[in-house]
Structure 1
């Protein structure tokens, strides 16, 4: 019996954290994605935003980042339409609204971020039907999801 993959939408902050430190929970999530244990889902906005941040803050990591993106081969979420993104714009800045809306359209199991100020602000979680969590909590959710296959 084939087991469905646990699909997780990675926000820019988590991808960059994993790039900077493989020892943390974000790095562990990337390792799980590399191993094919979870399915990494991102939007074009996440990839573009990652490049912008790296160019300014960590220019020495740009080539490593591009190699990692190619190696991970994440699932690319569909870009939201103007109508789809509208309710998200009421709660979030444009870039974050686009990212969370793309995750919503992708029907992922979880959205993982270090941007708790914006994505965990009052009213934001009501826009989606999946948990918005930090990397350590995403690992806990994944472990709980796996329990059904170990019984």
Structure 2
């Protein structure tokens, strides 16, 4: 079996971080190798863990997801999946800015109300991570 895809999660919400961690860790093909609560700490964790894919929030303290994406692509380039409530298709400005900065895909932030669709949410997130892990940036 191939090594699991290494993922770092950057998320300031403890609840969202826990949900994402559980969704990802439920797959043997993907492994969360580090977490951070803001972009500054995220850059350090990425340098230490060398993940295959980064999942980041858009709104965070100290450094927002857009600046974080720009810094990652300049310093430690790797595929980025933005997980946020502000990246739905109707949020054209946010989506365009993040794509321009180097983010490859988007995923709506799971909420505690999404637990009913847990398996669908999990499969969708794992599939996106697997696709991104195969991309070179």
TM-score (norm 1): 0.45
The alignment's TM-score, normalised by the length of structure 2, stands at 0.48
> Greater strand share, 1 or 2?
2
Larger radius of gyration: 1
Say which structure, 1 or 2, has more relative contact order (CA 8 Å, 6+ apart).
Answer: 1
